[in-house]
Amino acid sequence: MTEIHDLTALEQGDLVRRGEVTPGELADHYLARIEKLDTVPDNRIGAFVTIAQERISTCARELIVKPLGDCPLWGVPTAIKDLNLTAGVRTTFGSAAYADFVPEISDNVTLSIEAAGMVSLGKTNTPEFGSPCYTEPDVAPPAMTPWDRSRGAGGSSGGAAAAVAAGLVPVAQGSDGGGSIRIPASCCGLVGFKPSRGVVSPAPMYGDPTGLSTAGPIARNVRDAAAFLDALAGRRVGDPFWAATESYLEAAERPVGRLRIARFVEPIITDAAIDPEVVRAYEDASVLLESLGHELVDVPVPLPREAVATFETCWAVLTALSVVPAEKEHLLRPLTRWLSERGRAVSGPEFGLAIGAMRRFAAGALEALAPYDAVLTPTLAQLPAPVGSLRNDADPAQDFEAQKAFTPWTSAWNVTGMPAVSLPLHWTADDLPVGIMLAARPAEDGLLLALAAQVEEAVGGFTRTPPGW
């Protein structure tokens, strides 16, 4: 028998519009699943840090008396990453230093989700300040992929991906400064879409002067991701940069002509070993795209290796910008302290020069890729990593190197500001997901979603569900 969580987010929204289910009933269904799969101590997948029980009830009641909005996801449950400000709901930023912090304001992402009429069930797990590509904070259990609970869900939107993959919410918001939407999407067998720089407003904090990070959707299929991106997209007065937006759901439903697609499998940021299953997934995806009529062209890596040091300088400074009261600095994780020390050692002029250099590297890559409509690479170099295998509290420098080897492609598209998506196109014999990544020119998010939807249709849909579904 079909259960509510078997339906897509758009199908659930349609039920609400037809009056066949209320937002409160949808929320109750998912809260029951969260209680079953993410609250029992020995059975948690580490998806949620906080359940916003009082907020859920209030929001669901308000939606019943409000006129239906234009968003097709009106009344559909979701969740907000624990890096985003939610007025009146605990927000830890994945850090013990903020374990009891309750913000007084909400940021643009939260406000956009509420304006769309969606019901946030709570805050999803993230590593400290969203820095690592694994989700193992001190304020919550590790986030695990429901496909194999000995393996991590990736990071930094690991809790969001675990929640969607386990059917605890139909869609969830993530954020991505170096791969943090696409990495967990690959680990959890999901669609993870990083929009172009400027599609989603970073208001009101504007805490990332580099422009690397943006919010975006994590979903089980492309159309749900596109509909959720419609809810998130749009500029606010005061934004430092923005991109023209469109109806992304309509874009995902458009036919795709013959595209020229660049491809490369050589790692960008380090000499990483690539799992044979990843190479197989990449080659299979190439064959699939060619079968759809697209032209595949092998190209050199568009970013030089010397760009890596520049990116790392910016990343370290961003970590150092995470303000922690002096009396709570001892609560920070070793990796955060190590990165912060690196960041604080960078002078203001050095940081300004690094941002300039990064933008020049980005310009070179964009020029090299301009003849192509899309770019194909793997998402990760390895299969989902066992919990604890990347983390190294005794040697944070080695921890950082292990992360680079795990995800040597994703950060390139944060540097360039291009949209990028991880698609669940391959599965190992042991039923572990392997993501494949497609990127497109800046502000061509609609084209990328249309291509992703074409790929999804060609494989018969992304319909797999994990054990315990």
Q: Is 156 a catalytic residue?
A: yes
172: pLDDT strictly greater than 90: yes
**Cα-Cα end-to-end distance for the chain:** 13
Q: Is the pLDDT of residue 446 over 90?
A: yes
User: Using one digit for the tens of pLDDT, what is the confidence trace for 27-47?
Assistant: 999 999 999 999 877 789 999
Say yes or no to pLDDT of 323 above 90: no
Question: Which value, in Å, is the radius of gyration of the alpha carbons in the chain?
Answer: 20
- The pTM of this model reads 0.98
**250-264 confidence digits (pLDDT tens):** 999 999 999 999 999
Q: What is the mean pLDDT of residues 81-86?
A: 98
User: What pLDDT does residue 411 have?
Assistant: 98
CA distance 339 to 179: 18
Position 307 confidence tier, pLDDT thresholds 50, 70, 90: very high
- The residue type of 385 is A
Which strands, in side-by-side order, build the sheet including 48-51?
48-51, 119-124, 77-81
In the prediction, which pLDDT does 455 show? Answer: 98
pLDDT at 102 over 90: yes
Active site residue 180: yes
pLDDT at 43: 80
Mean pLDDT of the chain: 97
Domains and CATH numbers, the chain: 4-458 (3.90.1300.10)
- For residue 36, indicate whether it is catalytic: no
pLDDT of 66: 86
What is the pLDDT averaged over residues 3-15?
Answer: 98
14 pLDDT more than 90: yes
Question: What digits encode the pLDDT tens for the residues 116-166?
Answer: 999 999 999 999 999 999 999 999 999 999 999 999 999 999 999 999 999
Active site residue: 95, 180, 340, 422, which one? 180
* Annotated catalytic residue within 81, 123, 194, 404: 81
Handedness of CA 421, 424, 427, 433 (dihedral sign): positive
Q: How far apart are CA 152 and CA 385, in angstroms?
A: 6
- The pLDDT, as a whole number, for residue 439 is 99
Residue from 95, 120, 156, 201 carrying the catalytic annotation? 156
